[in-house]
Amino acid sequence: MFSRTENVQTFVRAYPLVTLFIVIQLLVFVIDSFAPGLRIVATGGSFHLALADGQWYRLITANFIHLSLGHLLFNSFALIIFGPAMERMVGHVKFALFYVFAGALANLLTYFTVSNLFYLQAGASGAILAILGFYVFIGRFRRTLMYSQDARLVYIFVAISAVFTLIGSNVSLWGHVYGFLAGFLLAIPLSRFTVPYTRPMRYGKYKQRSYTPPVIHSGDGKWFFYIIIGLAIFGLLAQFL
């Protein structure tokens, strides 16, 4: 599910929206690096002072703007690993709407939480954490949609992300938390239209779907789930300690 064995041609054909989002953020970063006069970050980042002035489009554009090469590469890598399965499971259109809306919602809620008008937020982290929130929900409450090993991998990655969110510098804690919660909550209605992942064949075509549900995972996975919830609560409380 999360192991990428497709060649480039198959990947592009099978996951066009994941490919599009990655290309957009790569192009934006390259253009910003070679044409700083365009001031892409200043005009498209989720800058709270600009949001207060009514420039709400920034809630969306900020998701495709990255402030450093390391941040861009990490988010692109995470999207390549975790985005394709969701695009396949919910469909191209629903995935696109989910990704854009969850990222924008994370930026919006951060705006209402952080009162500093000079606060700047940019990057796809909120939208990517929303994808992980989606997987955590179906892994815990829609177990027939994911294999146990895939669910555990998501739990572990979310736990690691939570730790780096807490100890990292220049990290939008609220953007990460709200992104994850947005994905988790949006998964409640979206999971009704979700099917188990089917790996693409060559040239992006798929085998006939099999609706035989995956093996339901054991109760061991619940401990990973509780650890994630505990880290999220600790992260929230840490802001007030």
Catalytic residue among 46, 76, 125, 172: 125
Exposure string for 11-41, b = 16+ CB within 10 A, e = fewer: beebbebbbebbeebeebbeebeeeeeeebb
Q: State how far Cα 166 lies from the chain centre.
A: 18
Q: Return d(Cα 79, Cα 25) in angstroms, integer.
A: 11
Helix residue ranges, H only, the chain = 8-14, 16-34, 40-44, 48-52, 58-61, 69-90, 92-113, 125-141, 148-167, 173-190, 221-238
Token couple for 127: 């939208």
Q: Return d(Cα 76, Cα 219) in angstroms, integer.
A: 32
Catalytic residue among 66, 161, 172, 176: 176
Decide if 148 is catalytic: no
Decide if 125 is catalytic: yes
Q: Which residues are catalytic?
A: 125, 176
